[in-house]
Chains A and B, each alone.
Chain A
């Protein structure tokens, strides 16, 4: 299933400094088409900062972020604005949920369609046949996505009124609405109960299989990570200390010391 010929994301020597603090230190990471890749590491390792550099929220101090969108030409996207990165085909979720709280669940997803639609101000005012069709397509597509994450019945509720687990799923659906080829999930299982985590596990695999979207995820839930990811990268203090498949990572002494060991202590 994993297409080793087809690299989607290629990060080389990424470094991010905050004043004197080097939050990400020379990290390289690749994601191939059809893969689920996990990025793990103890708290403060620099995982979220890595995501922010890749998605354009921060401009990396050094290094290259190359994307190779399927069927389009490759591009170095360092310093691109977040909306351009998303339009390119990489969408993300946030560790601390960032939904549009006072908009309905459906509208949250419709925002995801913004960069794939083109109705202008004048078009919105005149509401001609073209913009009406586009609006209907947006609604239909949004309902489809809601069905996929099981939130159709909540479509007209304000996002802030959803339970925690549902908010996480809504964020994933919103990111999917931008038609990405790569989905970056920042701790999607945080705050979920075991049943919700299991459902999420299935959802992520389903997204990869049915929608043909590759996935890069940050996660602390080891069971989830070991279950679904093909390859795992491990970070500690901003540095990449290991990579490999779940078996290799499980038996890697450095990782056990840095991360799994810490959990064994707890």
Chain B
């Protein structure tokens, strides 16, 4: 403790020294005098001291925790308190019911503007869950994921403006196009790993945007495609509010569908192969897993969801242009996956809602948005690198051990 005080004191002294010219000394050019703002020095000193103290305390707490984990006899993967609570059916059921009711009633409780934002958040939930397949499960870092999102959106835009196809036909086509592009772009990156993979996928993302911007005939360039119809319901005429509410429910179904599929894949032969690939590629192929096929399937399936919600995104906005598909969007989706916890479905959902909704409701801080974003990511990496929800593996209670069976 005393050590903390001493070190924090030194840190605050150092900060005072560093910021002295900036914070304390001010030359008033009108009166030609130097103003000494001593109070600022006190603020800096106290602020730096407190921050440094909290920082050290948090770091040590974290270290103590990992040490405890190392030395404890119980080496089983221990879920956090929250996770244990959620596994208890007494808590789990009511929570689920409340969430379900809130989800269903949401459009009737708030105004249309907020429903529209929620639709966007749900779109990012699906994007997060999709990217989670390639990044979280299969360990294939993808910095150009937004390219597949654009493929879906432009599939609908083009199919509609050229041939007049509706939403419901474009939806599966958009997903399949995403899938197709996933396979095509997946081939050249089969051999790449880590940093190289990151750079190449980053390139893909940028290339997609540049192609869209410059291919006037097909994509209408930077002007984008306007007048895209909202999702239809048996040709029913709907005003904007009804259409938005309808899109909202559609997105809820979409999210449920995505959760269902990814959840099933996660604990299956396919999902296990993806995870094994993430853990150790050489061991994975040496155990008889076909690397090319497994990687491509993860990449293509991730791209499928992006293509699918790309169509919905186009329908929600009724207008698309290349600016909706920048590196920022890729980074956002990746942050959702990292923040949520690699491979965790609940974590990704929470992270998507937080990261999309927070900036919308904290407009006051919008200038500092990226700053806060970066700070949150850095803090997460230091204090909770496993994400909000750590990876809990399924227990296959196939058989009891002979000793347990004898006791029971």
- A positions within 8 Å CB-CB of B: 55, 57, 81-83, 86-87, 91-92, 94, 98-104, 106-107, 110-117, 119-121, 124-125, 127, 131, 134-136, 138-140, 142-143, 147, 152-153, 155-158, 161-162, 174-175, 177-178
Contact = CB atoms under 8 A, between A and B. Distances in A.
Contact of B276 (A111, A116, A120): A111
A125 B393 CA distance: 18
Nearest to A139: B398
Contacts of A125: 261, 264-265
B399 interface: yes
B162 interface: no
Most buried by B among A82, A110, A127, A135: A82
Given A92-B286, A112-B288, A114-B287, A121 B280 contact: no
A121 B283 contact: no
A138 B272 CA distance: 12
B112 interface: no
A152 B286 contact: no
B279 A103 contact: yes
A153 B75 contact: no
A124 B399 contact: no
Nearest to A116: B288
Nearest to A109: B287
B240 interface: no
Contacts of A110: 269, 272, 396
Given A152-B401, A156-B395, A158-B77, A83 B279 contact: no
B398 A142 contact: yes
B147 interface: no
B3 interface: no
A107 B393 contact: yes
Nearest to A126: B264
B299 to A, nearest CB: 13
Contacts of A177: 287
B202 interface: no
A87 B287 CA distance: 8
Query: 4 closest A-B pairs (Cβ-Cβ)?
Result: A115-B288, A124-B268, A86-B288, A139-B398
Given A101-B279, A107-B272, A111-B272, A174 B398 contact: no
A114 B272 contact: yes
10 contacts: A82-B285, A86-B287, A99-B280, A101-B279, A110-B269, A114-B273, A131-B269, A142-B398, A152-B401, A162-B75
Interface of B: 75-77, 261, 264-265, 268-273, 275-276, 279-280, 282-291, 297, 301, 391, 393, 395-396, 398-399, 401-404
Contacts of B399: 140, 143, 152
Contacts of B393: 103-104, 107, 156, 158
Contacts of A106: 396, 398
Q: Is the interface of B mostly helix, strand, loop or mixed?
A: helix
A153 B282 contact: no
Contact of B288 (A83, A103, A124): A83
Nearest to A142: B398
A153 B290 CA distance: 30
Nearest to A113: B269
B270 A103 contact: no
Given A55-B286, A83-B288, A124 B264 contact: yes
A135 B269 contact: yes
A152 B402 contact: yes
B276 A86 contact: no
Contact of A94 (B75, B268, B283): B283
A110 B288 CA distance: 12
Contacts of B395: 104, 155-156
A112 B285 CA distance: 10
A100 B261 contact: no
A155 B393 CA distance: 11
B289 A114 contact: yes
Contact of A174 (B76, B264, B287): B287
Contacts of B301: 121
A167 B404 CA distance: 22
B265 A111 contact: no
Contacts of B288: 83, 86-87, 91, 112, 114-116, 178
Nearest to B398: A139
Most buried by A among B279, B285, B288, B289: B288
Contact of A121 (B77, B297, B401, B404): B297
Contacts of A99: 279-280, 283
A37 to B, nearest CB: 20
A100 B282 contact: no
Contacts of A57: 282, 286
A111 B287 contact: yes
A114 B288 CA distance: 7
Given A55-B286, A139-B398, A153-B403, A161 B261 contact: no
Contacts of B289: 83, 111, 114-115
B76 A157 contact: yes
B92 to A, nearest CB: 20
A88 to B, nearest CB: 9
Given A83-B290, A114-B287, A174-B287, A102 B269 contact: no
Nearest to A101: B279
B174 to A, nearest CB: 19
B56 to A, nearest CB: 29
B269 A119 contact: yes
Nearest to B270: A124
Contacts of B404: 153
Given A115-B289, A157-B77, 13 more contacts: A83-B287, A98-B282, A103-B272, A107-B275, A111-B284, A114-B269, A114-B289, A115-B288, A116-B288, A135-B268, A136-B398, A156-B76, A178-B288
Given A82-B285, A82-B286, A104-B393, A140 B398 contact: yes
Nearest to A117: B269
